[in-house]
Every structure is written in structure tokens, then in C-alpha cells.
């Protein structure tokens, strides 16, 4: 099994090849990260009950690849090795999925506006559900903006996907204490930016 440093070196080499327009590197990137990307899409689909079918998930997969690989993988230049490339890609996939959920929510709101419903009817309950989801999505995007990729993924896993600190520590190859300290510092960053007080009760 290759060490983390070996994997990072391989990731850097692959990105260099992508930047040169190497067609083989494109296929290698897709083969290497296909499972990770689809896994992340499936997690969001299950977490929010989005009901995406195979065709929608294929479209999201294609959109992720477009964002990552267009213009000779220009987007990948923002990965600077401060976290594993897998962690960074996972966050990109989540952002694409969150954007899709927002678009779905907006389409639902437009459809409801065309129907005659009373404020106390099912439409009002559905609208409240989308409003609540919108708050959740806003919080998750804020986490991605304020925190590093590794901090953001840890907070996502623990507070939104129900992972324990021990499970996250195994995933990151860190001690439970180290993960706990990282999450504590991450929440401190969010407090300093005034991001928790407004949204955190949406958990």
C-alpha cells in the first residue's frame, strides 16, 4: 500500500499532466476519482432525500468533471496540497450538488406559485421545508467558505452526516483528540465570522 506522501506525489504528477492537455491523464483522473465523485453525489442525494435518478446523477458527475477538467484542469490549480486531493474533490462535488438542490428548490417554488393553495395547506408545509433546507444549504456553503477543506469535511461528517469523532479520526488517520481539537478550532472560526449564531440551530 502506498503512503500518504506517495499518493500526494502521484496526485501532483497527475495534475501537471492534466495542465499540459495530456488526454491519457484525463482518463486516468476519471478512473481514479469516479467512485469518490459518485459516492459524494449519493451521500447528498440520500441526506436530503433529493430523489435524483441515475440520469440526474450522471449529469452531476459530468458537471463535476467539467468544473475540474475544463481549460486543461485550470480549477485544480487552487489545490495547493494543504489537504489530500480527495478531500478537496469531495468539497467540489458537494458544492455542485448543493447548487442543484437550490435550483430544484427554486423550480418547486415557481410551480407552487402557479397553484391555488391555502396558507395552511400542504403547499405551505412544503414551502417551509424548502425554506429550512435553504438555511441548511446556506450553512454548509458558509462552512466551505470559512474553513479549510479538511476542517469543512470534518464538520460536514460530524454535524450533518452523523459520523462519530472516532469514525472521522479513522478516516483522517488522526487521533480522536486531534480531530476534536480541529473541529473545536473550526467552530471558533465560524463564531468569529458570526456564522454559527444565525444558522446553527438548523441542525
Across the chain, which has 203 residues, the per-10-residue mean pLDDT values are 62 88 86 91 87 90 88 81 84 88 68 43 40 62 80 82 85 88 85 57 41
| Statement to judge: residues 68 and 15 lie in one domain | yes
What whole-number distance in Å separates Cα of residue 171 and Cα of residue 69? Answer: 27
pLDDT for res 33: 92
pLDDT for res 60: 92
pLDDT for res 102: 82
| Statement to judge: residues 94 and 150 lie in one domain | no
Using CB atoms within 10 A of its CB, is residue 50 exposed (0-12), middle (13-18) or buried (19+)?
Answer: middle
* 102-104-105 Cα angle (round to 5): 65
> In total, how many domains does the chain have?
2
- Does pTM surpass 0.85? no
pLDDT for res 61: 92
> Residue 145: which domain range?
137-203
What whole-number distance in Å separates Cα of residue 142 and Cα of residue 3? Answer: 32
pLDDT for res 37: 93
What whole-number distance in Å separates Cα of residue 127 and Cα of residue 109? Answer: 7
CATH number of the structural domain spanning residue 57: 1.10.1740.10
Residue pair 35/29 in contact (Cβ under 8 Å)? The answer is no
Sign of the four-CA dihedral 173, 12, 32, 186: positive
- Of 73, 98, 123, the domain-final residue: 98
What whole-number distance in Å separates Cα of residue 7 and Cα of residue 84? Answer: 9
- Of 71, 98, 125, the domain-final residue: 98
HEC secondary structure over the chain: CCCHHHHHHHHHHHHHHHHCCCHHHHHHHHHHHHHHHHHHHHHHHHHHCCCCCHHHHHHHHHHHHHHHHHHHHHHHHHCCCCCCHHHHHHHHHHHHHHHHHHHHHHHHHHHHHCCCCCCCCHHHHHHHHHHHHHHHHHHHHHHHHHCCHHHHHHHHHHHHCCCCHHHHHHHHCCCHHHHHHHHHHHHHHHHHCCCHHHHHHHC
| Statement to judge: residues 92 and 143 lie in one domain | no
Residue listed under C-alpha cell 477543506: 149
pLDDT for res 98: 87
Q: Tell me whether residue 128 is in a domain.
A: no
pLDDT for res 12: 87
pLDDT for res 24: 86
Amino acid at each position: 500500500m502506498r503512503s500518504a506522501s506517495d499518493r500526494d506525489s502521484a496526485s501532483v504528477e497527475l495534475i501537471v499532466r492534466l495542465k499540459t492537455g495530456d488526454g491519457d491523464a484525463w482518463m486516468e483522473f476519471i478512473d481514479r476519482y469516479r467512485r469518490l465523485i459518485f459516492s459524494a453525489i449519493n451521500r447528498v442525494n440520500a441526506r436530503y432525500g433529493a430523489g435524483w435518478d441515475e440520469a440526474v446523477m450522471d449529469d452531476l458527475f459530468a458537471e463535476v468533471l467539467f468544473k475540474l477538467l475544463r481549460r486543461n484542469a485550470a480549477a485544480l490549480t487552487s489545490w495547493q496540497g494543504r489537504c489530500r486531493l480527495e478531500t478537496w474533490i469531495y468539497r467540489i462535488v458537494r458544492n455542485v450538488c448543493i447548487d442543484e438542490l437550490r435550483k430544484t428548490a427554486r423550480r418547486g417554488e415557481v410551480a407552487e406559485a402557479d397553484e391555488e393553495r391555502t396558507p395552511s395547506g400542504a403547499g405551505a408545509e412544503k414551502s417551509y421545508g424548502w425554506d429550512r433546507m435553504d438555511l441548511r444549504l446556506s450553512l454548509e456553503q458558509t462552512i466551505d467558505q470559512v474553513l479549510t477543506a479538511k476542517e469543512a469535511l470534518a464538520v460536514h461528517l460530524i454535524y450533518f452526516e452523523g459520523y462519530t469523532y472516532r469514525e472521522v479520526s479513522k478516516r483522517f488517520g488522526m487521533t480522536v483528540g486531534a480531530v476534536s481539537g480541529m473541529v473545536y478550532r473550526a467552530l471558533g472560526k465560524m463564531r468569529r465570522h458570526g456564522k454559527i449564531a444565525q444558522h446553527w440551530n438548523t441542525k
